[in-house]
Structure 1
Amino acid sequence: MPRPSRYAPDTRPRRAHWSDKAVCRDVEDASIFFPEDFPRAEVPLIAMQAKAVCHGCPVSGPCLDSALALPERHGVFGGLDKNERQAIRRREQRRARKRAALLREETTDAFAAAEAAEAGVR
């Protein structure tokens, strides 16, 4: 049996993806989701238009999760612009640093307690 070419078109059906249900796929002018490409004075208005589309989208949550995971540096994803997503990333980084510091502190305290208990046994 001959091996199929790696350049052959994939005719197998694709698994459903959350982006298939995105409202932005049907928007006539998709450039509104990248307001940074417009003149500076128009950016807030264009971003508001894009956020309005995202507000009615059933998959805005997965869209935002994807944009935060990648991370997308420009545009409106999941109803948030780049500055709002950057604020979320910073907040998550601060929380992660605090959790790591607490874990280090707990580990150090547990280690010190174990050493003290061991020293008392001797």
Structure 2
Amino acid sequence: MARPSRYAPDTLPRPHHWMEDAACRGTDISVFFPVSRGGVSTEVETRYAKTFCNRCPVQPECLRHALTFREDYGVWGGLNEDERAELIRKARREAERRRRRQREKEKANAGAAA
């Protein structure tokens, strides 16, 4: 982990990061970026990667990171890229519904006030 500042001495304690508590810490990173090879499908490799996520104490933080930084590939927080994209689509649709309901409510209130 990097120093808090390039001017800070190496002896300063480093801030704790959620990744330090991840169940996958120390695991070969390629596990979380499945590619079909050797007759093993990406689906099987994805399920294997998710076994780490299922027991991970920082799964929500990992998923939040992937959604915040738009990680395009791999398994993050227990979801693959397609599942994360669907989660984002659902959130956008729900936000649009809320905006639409709010506009309709504002129109109705404006009509009643007139």
TM-score, normalised to structure 1, is 0.79
Q: Deviations over 1:34-85 (max 9, x none)?
A: 11x4449521111111001111111111111121122111000011111111
The structure with the greater share of residues assigned to helix is 1
- Gaps of at least 5 residues in structure 2 are none
Point out where structure 1 has 5 or more consecutive residues left out of the alignment: 1-5, 116-122
Query: What amino acid is the match of 1:16?
Result: H
Structure 2 letter corresponding to 1:62: E
Shift of residue 13, structure 1, vs aligned partner: 2.0
* Pairs aligned (count): 108
**Partners in 1 of 2:53 and 2:25 — Cα distance?**
11
Go from structure 1 to structure 2 and tell me whether the alpha carbon gap of 1:91 and 1:10 turns closer, same or farther (over 3 Å shift): farther
Could you list the structure 1 runs, at least 4 aligned residues long, displaced by more than 6 angstroms after superposition. none
> CA–CA distance in 2 between the matches of 1:55 and 1:97?
31
Q: Relative to 1, partners in 2 of residues 1:10 and 1:91: Cα closer, same or farther, differing over 3 Å? A: farther
Question: Identity, % of aligned pairs?
Answer: 35
TM-score, scaled to structure 2: 0.84
